[in-house]
Amino acid sequence: MRLQAAVIGTLLVGLHVHAARAQGDVASLIAAARANLEQFNPDSASAFLERALAPNSGATKAERTRAYVLYGIAQLSVKNVSTARQAFRQALELSPAERVDSLEFLEPEDLLTVFNSERIALGPVPQSQPAPVSPTPAPQPAALTVELGLPADTVMPLTGGRLVITPKPSRAASTVVSVASPAAPAVPIWTDSLPAGVTWSLGWDLRGRDGALVPPGRYTVTATAVDSAGTSQHVRRTLVISRAAADTQPLPPALPRSAFLPEATVVSHRSATGLLLGAGLGAAAAMLPSVLGRPELNKGLGGDGTAYLVAGSVAIAGVIAFISGGSERHPLPDNVRRNAELRQQDAANRAAIAAANARALEAAPMRVRVEGGAP
């Protein structure tokens, strides 16, 4: 007898522990369902509630009432009105005075209408229970809005850089972010999306669908939010994308003439002797009569310039002979070679600077600036 009593007592204790654990599980299932409804996930909420309403769940009367109410709301959210009515009726049969005023925000369209119609179908509330008060219309939720978080002015490297874009809907809503050229707004060059309830940031690497870096210019970023009721809202911002200033170096100035050595020497064949001889002959022609001791030859020629004309002609002939004398250029090979090397070195230096500048311009980072307001 003592052994039987001990066994029965052990079984009773086990049943009590199992029932207590089951009740705790039911409360967790109902809480999880409520959280999913607030995130507009009616299918997941229905799965939790079906487990809570199972015959072996051990749910209390109050828990079953609450589970039936939430299950009806979940079914109403997916437009399964007949199943929702059945769930509301089950809840009202368990608790005729049950109300759903505080839950209207979970299904704002027709929750009160459907629930109260089931209350009317069940008949008046027993006198032992207070009659339900006409529900006070709950305030409508605020209109859906969406903001777009973007850095106002940033510089991005060409490799590994991403523009951080953060869509911020005012309530749980899925969001789609796209970037397009103003010339073709209906053809996005980049797009990404976030599910409802997720608030992390997206990142655009400034590349189009073909993987190529977008050229500098103006681009439109659009964020569109859509909630579970199908309400949508969007916001736009205009980006100005340009290349940041590159670190380049100027080309050196052109080499001056003084940097080069003479490449030849000039040897003249003009003789100063001819020039002096012409001058001497001219002078001799002018003084010849006096030198010969025949002054009578100059008699009466005081005003005649013939002698001087002859003398000048002789002198000019000497000058012409001097000027028409030839000259030769003799190359200086060492200087020619040195000048050629100087020119080659200057050309190579200029080419190296130009190539380095081209690489710097090609690798210059991108600057992204947000214009104020919508385009």
Q: Does domain 2-121 have CATH number 3.30.70?
A: no
Cα–Cα distance, 189 to 156 (Å, whole number):
19
Confidence of residue 178 (pLDDT cuts 50, 70, 90): very high
Q: Identify the pLDDT of residue 273.
A: 62
Q: Identify the pLDDT of residue 282.
A: 55
Angle at 253 between CA 248 and CA 258, to 5 degrees: 155
The matching CATH number, chosen from 2.60.40.10, 3.40.190.10, 3.10.310.10, 3.40.50.720, for 146-242 is 2.60.40.10
- Mean pLDDT of the 322-340 span: 81
Domain positions in the chain: 2-121, 146-242, 258-357
What one-character DSSP code corresponds to residue 207? B
Cα–Cα distance, 5 to 8 (Å, whole number):
5
Spell out the alpha helix ranges (H) of the chain: 2-38, 42-52, 61-77, 81-94, 111-121, 272-291, 306-323, 333-362
Q: Identify the pLDDT of residue 5.
A: 38
- Mean pLDDT of the 299-306 span: 52
**% of the chain surpassing 90 pLDDT:** 27
pLDDT tens digit sequence for 78-116:
888 888 889 889 988 888 888 876 676 666 567 888 888
Whether residue 123 has pLDDT greater than 90: no
Average pLDDT, the chain: 78
Q: Identify the pLDDT of residue 7.
A: 37
